[in-house]
Amino acid sequence: DAMVIQNPRYQVTQFGKPVTLSCSQTLNHNVMYWYQQKSSQAPKLLFHYYDKDFNNEADTPDNFQSRRPNTSFCFLDIRSPGLGDAAMYLCATSRDRGAGRGYTFGSGTRLTVV
């Protein structure tokens, strides 16, 4: 029944070694989001896709990239992880834009950088 699935749940990566986090959805939602959440803070939007249209937040570092090869999958690539990139990464989906209630989070990937 899982609708937004994030893999892996926990990821340990080495400083500077590229890492990819994945998100898949069975909801056929148009919009997919990536958030970074550091300890005791609110989630911070990194970027989102509306269908194939990529929208990057102005303050998202260049070190973070994303791919959405099809409706179901979205990837977050961190090209050279630093210690400051250790965080929970949350994927979310939404059927469409606007104020409706259909907004679903995955269970997150907790990234540790060593």
Residues lying near other proteins in the complex (CB under 8 A) are found at 31, 33, 37, 40-43, 45, 48, 50, 55, 88, 90, 92, 94, 97-101, 103-108, 110
Q: Kindly state the smallest distance separating residue 105's Cβ from other proteins, in Å.
A: 4
* DSSP 8-state code for residue 85: G
Shortest reach from residue 59's CB to other proteins, in Å: 14
Beta bridge partners of 77: 20, 65
Give me the least distance between CB of 88 and other proteins, in Å please: 5
Residue 27 CB coordination number (10 Å)? 15
Contact present, 100 and 86 (Cβ < 8 Å): no
Count of C-beta atoms within a 10 Å radius of residue 19: 18
CB nearer other proteins, residue 33 or residue 64 = 33
